Amino acid sequence: MKKIKLVNDLNLLEECIENKLTVYVEKQNEEKIIASPMAIFYFKERLHLFYEDPKNNILDFLDLEEVKKFDIHPLKFNLNFANKEVLNFIGEVKKKDSRVERVIIKLKNLPRNKNLNHEYMYFNDSSLIDSKNGKIWSANSEIGASLMSWLAIQHIKYDIEIISPSSIKEDFDHYLEATLMRAA
């Protein structure tokens, strides 16, 4: 039931982001706020909604696990922050409150004109360049289980090799072993 609620909440929030709609948010602690959703990303290993508070004209964020329910708000608000400002805000929050490092991977089988799917992952200053042995992708990222999971998917799809940081290489090998053992 909890997973179905999360999927429904994510679908509603994605619709609000796309159509610039506003929502009532009721938190588990009964606090109620109005939010204009701007982005959904993993932060500290949990999904968070980054939003504009239309009453106070500030950017803020909340852990989706702290939300009891969302309802669409009937009024439209003019947003004060551009998407770039929101992404800068997210980057600053992550830099301040989590372990962020430059991740560099080689993708051996990434098809031409194919972009990596970053669903709910936030990568700052990402780049993708061609080399004779494949494509090299790099970005600043929060280090944790959600990154490992994302890397595992990229590994299955595109045969990746982690170039840097070296601390992630060993962690990733352990993550793959543990995942394979659970699947067996």
Domain harbouring 112, CATH code: 3.30.70
List, for residues 113-142, the tens digit of each pLDDT value.
677 777 888 888 889 998 887 899 999 999
User: pLDDT band at 183, cuts 50/70/90?
Assistant: confident
> For tokens 């948010």, what's the residue?
25
| Domain final residue, candidates 50, 69, 97 | 97
User: pLDDT band at 32, cuts 50/70/90?
Assistant: very high
39 with 120, same domain?
A: no
The domain of 105 spans 100-183
CATH of the domain at 58: 2.30.30.100
Q: Which two tokens stand for residue 167?
A: 């601390």
Give percent above pLDDT 70 in the chain.
97
List, for residues 11-25, the tens digit of each pLDDT value.
999 999 999 899 999
Residues 155, 41, 166, 126, CA torsion sign: positive
User: pLDDT band at 1, cuts 50/70/90?
Assistant: very low
Q: How far is CA 21 from CA 5, 64, 72, 77, 125, in A?
A: 20, 18, 7, 8, 28
12 with 75, same domain?
A: yes
What is the pLDDT averaged over residues 143-169? 91
67 with 52, same domain?
A: yes
9 with 89, same domain?
A: yes
What is the pLDDT averaged over residues 163-167? 92
Q: Which of 71, 77, 79 is nearest to 27 (CA)?
A: 71
123 with 161, same domain?
A: yes
pLDDT of residue 26: 95
Could you say which DSSP state residue 119 is in? T
Q: Which two tokens stand for residue 184?
A: 């067996």
Residues in the chain: 184
105 with 74, same domain?
A: no
123 with 134, same domain?
A: yes
- SS3 label, residue 80: coil
* Number of structural domains found in the chain: 2
* Cα gap 32→68, rounded to integer Å: 10
Where is average pLDDT lowest: 33-37, 90-94, 108-112, 123-127?
108-112
Q: Which two tokens stand for residue 62?
A: 């909340």
List, for residues 57-88, the tens digit of each pLDDT value.
999 999 999 999 999 998 777 888 998 899 88
